[in-house]
Amino acid sequence: MNKDRIMLGIAPIGWTNDDMPDLGAENTFQQCVSEMALAGFSGCEIGNKYPSDPIELKKALDLRNMKIANRWFSSFILSKPFSEVEEDFRKNCSFLQAVGAGRIGASEQSGSIQGTDKGVFDCKPVMTDKEWKELCLGLNRLGAIALEYGISLVYHHHMGTVVQTPEEIDRLMAGTDPKLFSLLYDTGHLAYMGADYLDVLKKHVARIKHVHLKDIRPDVVAEVKKNHLSFLQGVRKGTFTVPGDGSIDFKPVFDVLDKAGYEGWLLVEAEQDPAVANPFEYALKAREYIRRTAGI
């Protein structure tokens, strides 16, 4: 890949888990960002232990030649007044603008089961036609707001939510404005559900503005499905891992992105139990795999 077009980052969720704070409770923010930089990454997303003061955060990252790539945003367009969603969204955009980030990654959480004890393969929420229209309209509105801050809105398709399948991704992209809205492409969530992640990439690569490199362990996924386990139970058991440690061949992914002239972040995101999968060790493993496979 062309290293002049690509920035490499890693998510803090391997060090400290936002949904299950006991995972990595012992790991500090300073340790997390120091190990990220030491492993050879130049950026990250925002975790639950990051400073809430953008000046403090930016200083800590500048010392390590690191940048903020993106921040997760839980949208509730289908279940809350839009004014409430907009107020929260603007606060997040303002923070990201202050730290110099260019992306905000939304995921509609109305009806989501990703943080519940429901079986992730059994209880996925499904939208009505009316809800689809409402979601697409709301995301277009958020996308326009993000541009006021010089930030691009990207959508994170996710297991256990209203936008999970390739068909749902297709409908989301067809119903939104390309000038206002782009896709956050996540290999792991598509592979998890058994979808053709490469086909989704090829179909939507022109509108992808952020990439999560996430690998899976098929034996754990099979256990989750067989025993009707929840998304978070799967994480604890090791559903996800870093590129090069699971079953996904990322070479074709890198090739498609490179051929399309993708510019932006490739960000390793693999939530695991840090007591089992040492985050620094796995960050080094991911960085070496990307170097070897993508040539960057």
User: For the segment 156-175, what is each residue's pLDDT rounded down to a tens digit?
Assistant: 999 999 999 999 999 999 99
**Quick one: 82 exposed, middle or buried, by C-beta within 10 A (0-12, 13-18, 19+)?**
middle
User: For the segment 170-203, what is each residue's pLDDT rounded down to a tens digit?
Assistant: 999 999 999 999 999 999 999 999 999 999 999 9
Burial state string for 170-208 with b = 16 or more CB within 10 A and e = fewer than 16: ebbbeebeeebbbbbbbbbbbbbbebebbebbeebbeeb
pLDDT at 139 (0 to 100): 98
pLDDT at 273 (0 to 100): 97
* pLDDT tier, 122 (very low <50, low <70, confident <90, very high otherwise): very high
pLDDT at 134 (0 to 100): 98
HEC string for 95-159:
HHHHHCCCEEEEEECCCCCCCCCCECCCCCCCCCHHHHHHHHHHHHHHHHHHHHCCCEEEEECCC
User: For the segment 129-150, what is each residue's pLDDT rounded down to a tens digit?
Assistant: 999 999 999 999 999 999 999 9
